[in-house]
Structure 1
Amino acid sequence: MTQVDLSSEIGAALPYLRRYSRALTGSQTSGDSYAAATLEAVLADRSMVAEASGAKAGLFKVFHGIWVTTGAPTIDEDDGPRAAAQRHLQKLTTNSREALLLHTIEDFSVSEVGEIMQIGDEEASQLIDVARQEMADQISGRVLIIEDEAIIAMDLESIVADLGHRVTGVARTRDGAVKLGASDVPDLILADIQLADNSSGVDAVNDLLRELGQRPVIFITAFPERLLTGEKPEPAFLISKPYSEDQVRSAISQAMFFSSTETLKA
């Protein structure tokens, strides 16, 4: 692979590393700091990526080399939502969240997860299974779905219910979402970007957060790379259309660990 090809593949994979890093930390600011440190390391020594099975896997492997050296997040002294989230995270089996995110959200194979985390395939598979169970057992709550396609909305309702959460309602428009949110306050919002009346799911979410205060948000879009440019505040949790059930399950479980996330601004 030439230097030009390698640079191109790293550039294409970088938005997804930033998505993964934000989901892992629950914060755009913290996640992007890890992604920036990873890119600096790669620019200093591109062989770390070139020697991997693929440029994307190599980029994520470098990230994990940095991630594991920082140790577990330090619990804040106060009892705020971030501290509560960190306490939840400390109860999970070491490395299980990372394995689950890599496999379900970033669509790496079990073998690639093992390569990135520098563990065997069997251990990677076990960590994925453990994470699913532990996160499902930790937190349940109320979920508002903002989705204008009836079939997709029904599918999301089923996934949410199977995870033990309660769906507060399904909104097809920005105004409808605000009304539903006010009548039955959700713990988490799952929102499409483009709604039935050409209104924006991003605007709907921002309206809700202004009225209800901060809470986890998961955005759904067919073009995630358009929302991962780094040019403006972005969602910490983002899944792509078409999505898999595992992706939605994982994103919901991850988001429920954090009682606030940075989201897109209109």
Structure 2
Amino acid sequence: MVLAMVLGVLIFVVEMIALLCRWSRTKKPKKFEQVEAFLELHEERATNRYKYSEVKKMTNFFKDKLGEGGYGSVFKGQLPNGGAMVAVKILSETKGNGDDFINELASISKTFHRKLITYLGYCVDRGRRALIYEFMPNGSLEKYIYYKVSAKAQSRLGLMTLYNIAIGIADGLQYLHEGGVSRKADVYSYGKMLLEMAGGRKIFDVQTETYYPPWIYDKLVANENLELYGITTPEEELTALKMILVGLWCIQTDPAVRPYMSEVVQMLKGSLDTVPIPPRPSSI
């Protein structure tokens, strides 16, 4: 009787272990199954794949942080054996089955354009993921947008230089969107950047708690002084006004109202008279 009970318990335990093993096989990898399946095809394109240990060495154990965003952090690094300097984007934890990583990897791996930074490789190692790009020595554009009253000063680039940079970025985004990359968030972000470039100030002033888009819109339609920083010529004033109008179109709340990047390029390169006044942007 006791022997039968012991055997019964053992059989039950063995069955449970077998069941758990089957469950773990179907459950555990599912998050990365699609990623790995994609990578098998992706590796045929001779893209460099690095181990996470190599990424750590490459970045000197993540010593020099260049920036941080919603998808992860970016670190300065160097390719093995004294290779080129790189920017290593460490992606945050994947949700779902890894679609976000696959989409980004698929897009950048087939994207080549003279106005886009070069994609050099990636890392997928036990759920830890990274994308590796060429290093841009001049740093982020953010350092050159805002007008600083003090400073020996004016690290802000001239408006016409910023205008040409804005067109270059628009050209690159247009190319990406023709490669199938989602446009909605890109256009909105581009519009915010364009407004900051034209106005020389952040989209939201923490000190005065002023949200720039409706503020500048109201001044624009009332034909008031736009209080633009660093504008010295009539040409710059007209260019800044065009950038503001295009930026206001790009940040419309309804994504359907936002222009395509091809339309953005046309408006920026065209005459100010051809850019209509957009609907008033919503407040925060």
TM above 0.5, one fold? no
TM-score bin (small chain)? under 0.3
> TM-score, length-normalised on structure 2?
0.24
Larger radius of gyration: 2
Task: Please state which structure has a larger fraction of its residues in helix.
Answer: 1
Task: Please state which structure has a larger fraction of its residues in strand.
Answer: 2
> Which structure is richer in relative contact order (CA contacts within 8 A, separation 6 or more)?
1
> TM-score, length-normalised on structure 1?
0.25
